[in-house]
A = this chain, B = another copy of it.
């Protein structure tokens, strides 16, 4: 019985033999299936025609994900750590809404939680190569975090000041009904999205808007510059990690191909 549990844990948590890989693929198919059902069910005409089928499928997916969640809780050696981990919470959120729906009336809220199921896909993407690349991007972003934070703070300061300015210049009669709405407009403009649901109509307002647009067009260079130079730096660093240390004098920047230490002349083998 003990061996059976160990074998089951291997199938559920790893993915290096046939059974465990099959488990991952089945899970992947279930996740894609449940997300697809949630998306299709939101389309009015499809809901009217296949609503009941979608509901039955939803219950089936929930039943299967409940078994998976139960297995993970039972099989893991660190139950508390798993339950409170990011994926543990995602797994719980993937089944909870349906059980709640038996008591809760607001079905719209459920769609949000259903979409969160897609996050479970990441867990199955243990393809190494992809995660290594994700780490590369994640590391570069993390190393630039302080700079990006400073950048976001500057952006929000600009948004607050320009939003208030436009509220004063254009006023509620031209769609800038309050400072929060004006700030929403400033973000729409500064990020160059430009919906056009609110637009300046006075000459002064159009002039101020032009300044925000040119500013937004220019400062997009800042986050790009930060991330790019960080990534280029990261590549250079990975080169330095290949350097060796001289066992004689301790010089620590020997190229892998050096035969003699550049500082003390000690021969390398």
Contacts and interface: CB of A to CB of B under 8 A. Distances in A.
Contacts of A179: 38-39, 42-43, 111, 115
Interface in A144-167: 146-152, 155, 157, 160-161, 163-165, 167
Contact of A151 (B112, B137, B181, B187): B137
A162 to B, nearest CB: 9
A218 interface: yes
A150 B165 contact: no
A35 B231 contact: no
A134 B150 contact: yes
A222 interface: yes
A220 B220 contact: yes
Interface stretch (A7-15, A61-69, A79-87, A245-253): A245-253
B196 A43 contact: no
Contacts of A187: 210, 213-214
Given A168-B108, A251-B259, A181 B195 contact: no
Contact of A181 (B108, B189, B206): B206
Interface stretch (A22-30, A48-56, A170-178): A170-178
Contacts of A216: 191, 193
A259 to B, nearest CB: 5
A71 interface: no
Contact of A231 (B114, B141, B177, B225): B225
Given A130-B150, A253-B255, 10 more contacts: A44-B178, A108-B168, A112-B164, A115-B163, A115-B179, A130-B149, A180-B206, A183-B210, A192-B217, A226-B231
